Amino acid sequence: MIGTEGQVRLVDGNGYSSGRVEIYHNGVWGTVCDDSFGISNAIVICRQLGFSSAADYFCCAHYGRGNGTIWLDNVSCNGSESSISSCNHNSWGSHDCGHNEDVGVACINAFWSPNSTAFEFLFITQFNIARIAFLSVKDCITQIKSSRSRTYSNSKRLLLGHYTRKMER
């Protein structure tokens, strides 16, 4: 698949919203190393792909090892960048990684339903797709708190931030 400079894609995940991160540079698709990778980086990647945010990120070739070029290492985003290539990182192709360190992400969409007062949360992972509606963010957070996973912890932070922005409008 031919891409455009700086384009990202997710490979070997659920085929839509999760997978190994690959970026197109100088006519070649390559991977991103998990060194110094954090949720802010994942959020930028997911937003670049058209999602509202990231639910989680994964180290250690969670979605399998890529092959060929490793383009980015030591990526550091603050979360407001429009693309992962706009974040701080080593120069293109400069890394101390193997493909056993390819990073992956899981992206999500969260939104208010325009036809109701319910908060709807669309959570998509490699395992399932769930659309959950709650009458309040408090009810939603109560449900999320029942899980101890990092994914739900990140989702809680996203929901609170999204809810706060909606209420300020």
Given a cut of 50, the residues of the chain with pLDDT beneath it are 124-129, 131, 145-153, 156-169
39-43 contacts at long range (C-beta below 8 A, 24 or more positions apart)? 39/154, 40/77, 40/78, 40/79, 41/75, 41/76, 41/77, 41/84, 41/87, 41/103, 42/105, 42/107, 43/77, 43/79
How many Å is the maximal CA-CA distance in the chain?
51
Strand partners, 110: 121
pLDDT of residue 161: 45
pLDDT of residue 46: 94
pLDDT of residue 16: 81
pLDDT of residue 147: 43
Closest CA to 22 of 78, 56, 67, 86: 67
pLDDT of residue 108: 84
pLDDT of residue 160: 46
For each of the domains in the chain, give its residue range(s) and CATH number, in order of start: 8-106 (3.10.250.10), 108-168 (no CATH)
